[in-house]
């Protein structure tokens, strides 16, 4: 069954699907029945053409079966036998298409019908002419009789047979749409493949002697030395390392099938990827020795390829004409490839002269489309070739744009005019190669920097260790320098805000994909889609830091859903980790196919933070996310989101993503602009921020406190709303602007909500600037589990109203299930960020659409901005723990946090209470139900929270609080080992 892969079918079928499935079942039944009837046909049974009044019916399908079989034989003759198979085939085809709602193409239906008719008529006619009759039926049935009778007088027996055969072929094509040319191609290809295999096997058993420098050097058997060897066969003092002096059988090279050759993974993968149907024939093993001939320059030739040889096969003019001794001495002198690279320019010039003189077969040509099979030959490259290959890319100082430099050559070798149609994208006026090139130029400098910073870090640690030792160690073992907190003696930074040098500098060491490889992949994509009968043309290639997008122009009538369904098959066919299909590219009539790059670049946070886009952002809460597929920085404003849901499986890069957001805020916002409440059930991820002046309260790790913190936010939100109403503004920015304006005008605004007695002041205090508050919850599912439904209500309440009051939520979870990301939460949090998830359902839970299951992990994400339906693929920026530490220490040195005490208190005042909740605070403020619960507990002798919850129909939190109050009043004992509490109060009298 051709199931649409990657798509989970709905459990219940639609109306049409039900009918089709019933049709399938009935079709199978009818086919089986007909088969039984035909096979057990007995000419003596009563039927349309036979009369019998008595006796039992012999046909196993009964009297009806006998009639059916008789009719079938009468009509189609011996061709009645394949009828059940045809029936089965037709029902199966109809059934398997049940998921595809293709628009009715009457041309196709018409040709199919015509084809079927032709097939029937010609098959019956041919059977009638060529087969023996069965029983009393004509072998072609009545149809065959008619056809034969009509055509025989016109064409005679031979002519009729020929005409019918050709018409049969026409009918076949009309019905199935399979081209005979393809059939012929297929047969040819299989035959060639088998011949090649056979030849390979045969040749594999006969070792071949390959002679190096075949064109220039006389066969060694013709040399005087060889003659001496022949004369003195016992001579043993031959230099084993000398390729010319060794006996020819010592360097005998036995060609083996490619699969047997030990190759590096990369080479094997490349070979697999590059093998397109068109190139398979060309890559027949018979080419191998011929192609590898120029490469047999070194004795090391037959060694398996080493790591240094994992380079794409390309032109290699340097190697031509250089003698073995030259190369060996160079290698001995310069085992550092960079030195070799420095010399390559000079040698290139020399080599160019020499290579012009060389015989044609000794030159390695530019790889062209037809040479794709050569890629599989990578294992036969010598180390020298790969080194000089590196030279080609590394030592091209004056070629700014390597692709452009090679473009003219490439255009020449692409004789196929359509190549020019493919646009290889450079979105930002700066190609992928340029970026990587710049990064690799900077690499050497970076190395030096790295060394410096390592040294600095080391010395810093030593200093800290000494300081720690000087301090009185308050407990043995706790004076370990690695345990001591680092916030002592931090020098105060001089810059107003943290600088980018606190972050790891970008250092890319990634070989970008060549233009040729991209085009090859594009062709492969087209070929693979053609295998699935999808006609599409690659019209644009956009290489990015992590993936490359191929834009496809689909043939008219091809539905994009077919390609989406094939995502996994395509990934397999293209040997890719995952393929994501972008069904709609806004503003373009194409679809996108996103394939992971072979070499993935890391997106460093310092790069993205330093981007023009982020630098120029003016919003109140700017954050960076990473790079988009084209390598452009993606930045957003949290205040516009205004809340964000982050989800992805464990290890997908959520925490790094959240850290990047926090760091971006720390880079742009002062504590008076933005404050954080961080909730971290995992106790590891956000605790690192403890002590920065932006915190409103210490990082919350206890989930009960987390509930209180959210409650405080609700109270703060209500307070802010009242203030804004009193000041007459509609949002936080307006409020802050108005305060500033009033202060500048000499009329600072006093708190209009202040009442005497609220504080010890005589007059209402002045209103102060209100910062935005960002509430970050690192594992939201934990919070939901521990605190329960209340959290959902608090979050929903905050999410609905908090936007204007400048309170923003960032909720991260690794469990994107509907019990965590509930409808209520989803409806109120419009911005979503999905990292890799395991299933399409999870992706739908987060984004309301699939796609996140095809991401590549390590910060690869889909970002759905508020109010949009198109996701943006972003490769998340990477911030290491050291980066976070540095920025945190920088802020810690600038100031201490001023925590607000009440945030984690359970008594938040009436404003933070949810509907139906009552305030219950400290010891003196007993819950309204306290007396009743005390009476109940004393009477029932059970002091469990759940008992109180059930009896009084109250939430867990409140019940737990009341029970704690009972404990404080000595009515119940503290919980024992098993969590049960003993009732200490005496039972009521009369019990
Ligand atoms: N943007 C990125 N670039 C490169 N590597 C990344 C990126 N983001 C994450 N990683 C890598 O993935 C690893 C896991 O990331 P992270 O800890 O953020 O995952 P997580 O989803 O938070 O997992 P968990 O839920 O278990 O904490 C990181 O240690 C890092 O090596």
Give me the pLDDT at residue 689, please.
Answer: 92
**Angle CA(124)–CA(129)–CA(133) in degrees, nearest 5?**
80
Q: Is 654 in the pocket of ligand 1 (CB under 6 A)?
A: yes
Q: Is 656 in the pocket of ligand 1 (CB under 6 A)?
A: yes
Give me the pLDDT at residue 622, please.
Answer: 92
Looking at ligand 1, which atom is closest to the CA of residue 877? 1
Q: Is 545 in the pocket of ligand 1 (CB under 6 A)?
A: no
650 in a labelled binding site: yes
Give me the pLDDT at residue 196, please.
Answer: 87
Burial class, 622, CB count within 10 angstroms (exposed 0-12 / middle 13-18 / buried 19+): buried
Q: Is 602 in the pocket of ligand 1 (CB under 6 A)?
A: yes
CA gap 971, 937 in Å, rounded: 8
CA gap 78, 72 in Å, rounded: 9
**What's the Cα-to-Cα distance from 234 to each of 5, 180, 790, rounded to whole Å?**
68, 64, 95
926: CA distance to ligand 1 center in Å? 47
- Which residue is it, tokens 């233009």? 515
Looking at ligand 1, which atom is closest to the CA of residue 652? 21
648 in a labelled binding site: yes
**Angle CA(504)–CA(391)–CA(216) in degrees, nearest 5?**
165
Rounded to an integer, the average pLDDT of 108-118 is: 88
Q: Cβ neighbours of residue 794 under 8 Å, at least 6 residues apart?
A: 707, 710, 711, 713, 714, 914
Q: Mutation test of ligand 1: which of 657, 812, 859 has the most ligand atoms closer than 8 Å to its C-beta? A: 859
Q: Whose CA is nearest to atom 28 of ligand 1?
A: 653
Q: Mutation test of ligand 1: which of 780, 858, 874, 875 has the most ligand atoms closer than 8 Å to its C-beta? A: 858
The tokens of 195 are what? 């011949």
Rounded to an integer, the average pLDDT of 55-81 is: 85
Q: Is 651 in the pocket of ligand 1 (CB under 6 A)?
A: yes
Q: Whose CA is nearest to atom 5 of ligand 1?
A: 858
Is the confidence at residue 189, as pLDDT, over 70?
yes
Q: Mutation test of ligand 1: which of 651, 658, 782 has the most ligand atoms closer than 8 Å to its C-beta? A: 651
Looking at ligand 1, which atom is closest to the CA of residue 685? 27
SS (H, E, C) 898-939: CCCHHHHCCCCCHHHCCCCCCCCCCCCCCCCCHHHHHHHHHH
CA gap 608, 634 in Å, rounded: 8
Give me the pLDDT at residue 907, please.
Answer: 60
453 in a labelled binding site: no
547: CA distance to ligand 1 center in Å? 18
Cα end-to-end span (Å), the chain: 73
Q: Whose CA is nearest to atom 15 of ligand 1?
A: 653
Looking at ligand 1, which atom is closest to the CA of residue 659? 18
Q: Is 659 in the pocket of ligand 1 (CB under 6 A)?
A: no
CA gap 13, 16 in Å, rounded: 8
601: CA distance to ligand 1 center in Å? 15
CA gap 799, 714 in Å, rounded: 10
878: CA distance to ligand 1 center in Å? 8
pLDDT tens track for 22-40:
888 999 999 999 999 988 8
Rounded to an integer, the average pLDDT of 96-119 is: 77
683: CA distance to ligand 1 center in Å? 16
653 in a labelled binding site: yes
Q: Whose CA is nearest to atom 23 of ligand 1?
A: 651
Give me the pLDDT at residue 176, please.
Answer: 83
Q: What is 370-400 written as a DSSP string? A: GGGGGGGGGGG--HHHHHHHHHHHHS-TT-S
655 in a labelled binding site: yes
Looking at ligand 1, which atom is closest to the CA of residue 653? 18
pLDDT tens track for 448-478:
444 556 767 777 777 777 676 666 555 555 5
- 115 within 8 A of 175, measured Cβ to Cβ: yes
652 in a labelled binding site: yes
Q: Whose CA is nearest to atom 3 of ligand 1?
A: 878
Task: Determine the 3-state secondary structure of 755 from DSSP.
Answer: coil
As a whole number, the mean pLDDT across the chain is 73
pLDDT tens track for 694-728:
999 999 988 878 888 888 888 888 888 888 888 88
879: CA distance to ligand 1 center in Å? 10
Q: Is 648 in the pocket of ligand 1 (CB under 6 A)?
A: yes
Q: How many CB atoms lie within 10 A of CB 334?
A: 15
221 in a labelled binding site: no
- 876 confidence band (pLDDT: 50, 70, 90): very high
Q: What structural domains does the chain harbor?
A: 17-97+105-186 (no CATH), 515-596 (3.30.980.40), 605-894 (3.40.50.300), 925-990 (1.10.10.10)
Rounded to an integer, the average pLDDT of 35-58 is: 78
Q: Is 876 in the pocket of ligand 1 (CB under 6 A)?
A: yes
Q: Is 858 in the pocket of ligand 1 (CB under 6 A)?
A: yes
Give me the pLDDT at residue 805, please.
Answer: 87
CA gap 78, 914 in Å, rounded: 82
- 138 within 8 A of 146, measured Cβ to Cβ: no
- 490 confidence band (pLDDT: 50, 70, 90): low
Q: Give this prediction's pTM.
A: 0.50
pLDDT tens track for 796-835:
888 888 778 899 999 999 888 888 888 888 888 889 999 9
Q: Whose CA is nearest to atom 20 of ligand 1?
A: 651
- In the beta sheet, which residues pair with residue 536? 554
Looking at ligand 1, which atom is closest to the CA of residue 648? 21
- In the beta sheet, which residues pair with residue 863? 833, 872
Give me the pLDDT at residue 379, please.
Answer: 36
* Calculated CA dihedral for residues 952, 953, 956, 960, nearest 10 degrees: 0
pLDDT tens track for 227-263:
665 565 554 444 444 444 444 444 333 334 333 434 3
Q: How many CB atoms lie within 10 A of CB 356?
A: 11
Q: Is 814 in the pocket of ligand 1 (CB under 6 A)?
A: yes
Q: Whose CA is nearest to atom 9 of ligand 1?
A: 653
Q: Whose CA is nearest to atom 25 of ligand 1?
A: 650
- 273 within 8 A of 575, measured Cβ to Cβ: yes
588: CA distance to ligand 1 center in Å? 34
Instruction: Enumerate the H helices of 645-788 as residue ranges.
Output: 654-668, 703-727, 732-744, 780-787
Is the confidence at residue 775, as pLDDT, over 90?
yes
Looking at ligand 1, which atom is closest to the CA of residue 875? 1
Q: Mutation test of ligand 1: which of 653, 654, 659 has the most ligand atoms closer than 8 Å to its C-beta? A: 653
Is the confidence at residue 773, as pLDDT, over 90?
yes
SS (H, E, C) 844-905: HHHHCCCCHHHCCCCCEEEEECCCCCCCEEEEECECCHHHHHHHHHHHHHHCCCCCCHHHHC
pLDDT tens track for 596-613:
988 888 899 998 998 888
Rounded to an integer, the average pLDDT of 287-305 is: 34
Q: Which residue has the higher pLDDT, 987 or 574?
A: 574
703: CA distance to ligand 1 center in Å? 24
Rounded to an integer, the average pLDDT of 493-521 is: 84
**What's the Cα-to-Cα distance from 2 to each of 22, 94, 95, 536, rounded to whole Å?**
18, 11, 10, 20
Q: Mutation test of ligand 1: which of 609, 627, 656 has the most ligand atoms closer than 8 Å to its C-beta? A: 656
pLDDT tens track for 553-568:
998 888 888 888 888 8
Task: Give the sheet arrangement for strand 580-582, strand by strand.
Answer: 423-424, 536-543, 547-554, 591-596, 580-582
Looking at ligand 1, which atom is closest to the CA of residue 626? 1
* Chain mean position to CA 173: 40
Give me the pLDDT at residue 906, please.
Answer: 63
Q: Is 878 in the pocket of ligand 1 (CB under 6 A)?
A: yes
């Amino acid at each position: 069954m051709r199931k649409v892969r990657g798509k989970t079918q709905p459990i219940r079928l639609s109306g049409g699907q039900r009918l089709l499935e019933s049709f399938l079942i009935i079709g199978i039944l009818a086919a089986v029945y007909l088969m039984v009837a035909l096979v057990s046909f007995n000419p003596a049974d009563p039927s349309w053409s036979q009369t019998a009044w008595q006796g039992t019916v012999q046909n196993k399908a009964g009297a009806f079966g006998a009639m059916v079989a008789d009719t079938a034989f009468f009509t189609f003759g011996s061709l009645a036998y394949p009828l059940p198979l045809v029936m089965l085939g037709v029902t199966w085809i109809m059934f398997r298409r049940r998921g595809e709602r293709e628009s009715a193409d009457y041309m196709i239906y018409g040709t199919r019908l015509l084809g079927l008719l032709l097939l029937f008529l010609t098959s019956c006619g041919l059977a009638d002419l060529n087969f023996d009759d069965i029983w009393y039926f004509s072998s072609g049935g009545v149809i065959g009789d008619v056809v034969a009778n009509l055509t025989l007088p016109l064409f005679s027996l031979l002519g009729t047979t020929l005409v019918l055969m050709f018409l049969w072929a026409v009918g076949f094509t009309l019905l199935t749409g399979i081209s005979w040319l393809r059939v012929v191609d297929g047969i040819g290809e299989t035959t060639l493949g088998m011949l090649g295999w056979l030849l390979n096997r045969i040749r594999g058993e006969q070792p071949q002697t390959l002679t190096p420098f075949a064109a220039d050097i006389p066969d060694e058997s013709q040399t005087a030395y060889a003659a001496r060897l022949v004369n003195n066969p016992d001579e043993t003092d031959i230099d084993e390392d000398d390729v010319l002096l060794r006996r020819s059988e010592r360097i005998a090279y036995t060609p083996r099938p490619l699969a047997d050759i030990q190759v590096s993974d990369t080479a094997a993968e490349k070979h697999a990827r590059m093998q397109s149907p068109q190139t398979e024939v060309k890559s027949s093993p018979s080419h191998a020795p011929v192609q590898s001939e120029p490469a047999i320059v070194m004795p090391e030739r037959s060694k398996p390829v080493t790591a240094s040889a994992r380079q794409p096969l390309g032109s290699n003019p340097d190697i031509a004409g250089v003698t073995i001794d030259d190369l060996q001495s160079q290698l001995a002198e310069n085992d550092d490839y960079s030195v070799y690279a420095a010399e390559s320019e000079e040698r290139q010039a020399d080599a160019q002269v020499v290579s012009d003189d060389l015989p044609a077969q000794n030159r390695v040509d530019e790889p062209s489309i037809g040479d794709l099979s050569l890629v599989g030959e990578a294992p036969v490259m010598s180390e020298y070739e790969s080194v000089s290959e590196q030279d080609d890319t590394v030592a091209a100082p004056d070629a700014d744009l390597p692709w452009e430099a090679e473009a003219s050559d490439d255009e020449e070798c692409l004789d196929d005019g359509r190549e020019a149609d493919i646009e290889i994208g450079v979105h930002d006026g700066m190609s992928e190669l340029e970026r990587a090139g710049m990064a690799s130029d900077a690499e050497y400098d970076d190395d030096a920097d790295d060394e410096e910073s390592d040294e600095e870090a080391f010395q810093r640690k030593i200093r800290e260790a000494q300081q720690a030792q000087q301090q009185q160690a308050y407990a043995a073992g706790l004076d370990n320098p690695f345990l001591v907190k680092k916030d002592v003696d931090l020098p105060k930074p001089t810059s107003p805000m943290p600088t980018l040098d606190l972050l790891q500098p970008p250092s890319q060491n990634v070989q970008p994909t060549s233009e040729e490889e991209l085009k090859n992949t594009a062709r492969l994509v087209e070929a693979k889609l053609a295998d699935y009968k999808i006609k599409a043309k690659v019209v644009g290639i956009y290489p990015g830091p992590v993936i490359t997008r191929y834009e496809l122009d689909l043939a008219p009538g091809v539905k994009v859903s077919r390609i989406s369904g094939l995502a996994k098959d395509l990934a397999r066919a293209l040997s890719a980790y995952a393929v994501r299909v972008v069904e709609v590219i806004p503003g373009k009539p194409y679809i996108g196919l996103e394939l992971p790059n072979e070499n993935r670049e890391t997106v460093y946070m310092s790069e993205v933070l330093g981007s023009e886009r982020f630098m120029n952002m003016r919003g109140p809460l700017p954050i960076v996310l990473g790079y988009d597929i084209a390598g452009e920085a993606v930045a957003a404003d949290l205040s516009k989101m205004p809340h964000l849901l982050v989800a992805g499986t464990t290890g997908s890069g959520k925490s790094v993503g959240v850290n990047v957001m926090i760091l971006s805020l720390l880079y742009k916002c002062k504590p008076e602009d933005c404050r954080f409440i961080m909730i971290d059930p995992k106790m590891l991820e956000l605790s690192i921020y403890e002590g920065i002046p932006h915190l409103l309260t210490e990082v919350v790790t206890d989930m009960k406190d987390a509930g209180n913190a959210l409650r405080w936010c609700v109270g703060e939100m209500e307070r802010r709303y009242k203030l804004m109403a009193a000041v007459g503004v509609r949002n936080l920015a307006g409020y802050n602007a108005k305060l500033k304006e009033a202060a500048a005008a000499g009329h600072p605004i006093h708190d209009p909500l202040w009442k005497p007695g609220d504080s010890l002041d005589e007059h209402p205090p002045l209103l102060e600037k209100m910062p935005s508050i960002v509430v970050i919850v690192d594992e939201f599912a934990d919070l939901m589990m521990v605190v329960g439904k209340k959290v959902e209500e608090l979050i929903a309440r905050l999410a609905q109203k908090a936007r204007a009051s400048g309170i923003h939520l960032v909720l991260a979870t690794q469990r994107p299930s509907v019990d965590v990301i509930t409808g209520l939460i989803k409806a109120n949090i419009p911005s979503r960020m999905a990292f890799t998830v395991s299933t399409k359902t999870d992706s739908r839970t987060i984004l309301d659409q699939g796609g996140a299951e095809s991401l590549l992990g390590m910060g690869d994400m889909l970002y759905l901005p508020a109010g949009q339906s198109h996701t943006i693929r972003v490769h998340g920026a990477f911030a290491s723990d050291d980066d976070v530490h540095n920025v945190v220490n920088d802020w810690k040195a600038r100031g201490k946090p001023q925590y607000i005490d009440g945030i984690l208190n359970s008594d938040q005042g009436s404003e933070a209470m949810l509907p139906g909740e009552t305030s219950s605070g400290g010891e003196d403020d007993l819950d309204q139900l306290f007396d009743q619960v005390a009476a109940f507990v004393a009477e029932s002798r059970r002091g469990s929270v759940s008992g109180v919850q059930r009896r009084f129909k109250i939430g867990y939190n409140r019940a737990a609080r009341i029970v704690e109050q009972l404990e404080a009043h000595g009515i119940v004992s503290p919980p024992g080992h098993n969590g049960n509490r003993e009732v200490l109060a005496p039972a009521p009298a009369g019990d």
